[in-house]
Amino acid sequence: KQEVTQIPAALSVPEGENLVLNCSFTDSAIYNLQWFRQDPGKGLTSLLLIQSSQREQTSGRLNASLDKSSGRSTLYIAASQPGDSATYLCASSSFGNEKLTFGTGTRLTIIP
Amino acid sequence: DAGVTQSPTHLIKTRGQQVTLRCSPKSGHDTVSWYQQALGQGPQFIFQYYEEEERQRGNFPDRFSGHQFPNYSSELNVNALLLGDSALYLCASSSWGDRYSNQPQHFGDGTRLSIL
């Protein structure tokens, strides 16, 4: 059974700093690994999806990496802004676009 | 282009009651998945519907049931509500034909269910 863990549960950093969010998973037989953003009381917004054959994906100030052998993924946010404050969730898919297994998320606060 | 829409936004029920939540998928999508997100936790997969059939189910009791209609919209029904059913219920849509093409699922804003 896949288990996904995100540490730390909460993180506060000053505006402008670069930061890294961590995600680990127990079963390396994943189909893809996704990062989502969730604002308070809202649904999930897909940020980046990394296919199992890929090592990283980039979108603007965001870069996500995937290391299946070690069961780890990281989300790098460059030049953080107050608008980046949200909860960030990672999720793995074991086969195709089937059920996603989520971590518990990292609540990020960017201090102006 | 309308995204995933869910109704109602908020709902308050008492223990033992029954509830129905609704979801309309993003235009062009034919597959609907439901997730339960307790406060401070990540979403947990409940089940997935395609062609009006339940295709996959997570570790949830039979009190949780669903339905998909010919227009691809879906309902989640929960019977005999417990305090522990209080959560944000999220609906996600996708295209069954794209399930192996690494297209992300699209999520609605959820229904906040509170059990008193």
pLDDT of residue B98: 80
SS3 B48: strand
What are A82's two structure tokens?
Answer: 């107050």
Contact criterion met (CB < 8 Å) for B109 and A42? yes
* Chain B residues inside the 8 Å CB shell of A44: 43, 90, 92, 107
Look at residue A97 and tell me whether its pLDDT is greater than 90. Answer: no
List B88's β-bridge partners, or say none: B37, B112
Find the mean pLDDT for residues B8-17. 97
Please classify residue A102 by burial: count the beta carbons closer than 10 Å to its beta carbon, then call 0-12 exposed, 13-18 middle and 19+ buried: buried
H helices of A2-103, where? none
CB B25 within 8 A of CB B4: yes
Res B69: pLDDT: 97
Q: Residue B1: is its pLDDT beyond 80?
A: no
Quick one: pLDDT band at residue B41, thresholds 50, 70, 90? very high
Residues of B in contact with A41 (CB under 8 A): 88, 109, 112
CB pair distance less than 8 Å for B56 and A34: no
Q: Decide: B67 and B74 in contact? Cβ < 8 Å.
A: yes
| Residue A112 pLDDT level (bands cut at 50, 70, 90) | very high
Lowest mean pLDDT among A40-44, A89-93, B20-24, B98-102: B98-102
Q: How many CB pairs under 8 A join A and B?
A: 66
Q: Closest-CA residue in chain B for A94?
A: B100
Chain A contact for B10 (CB, 8 A cutoff): no
Q: Give yes or no for residue A96 having a pLDDT over 80.
A: no
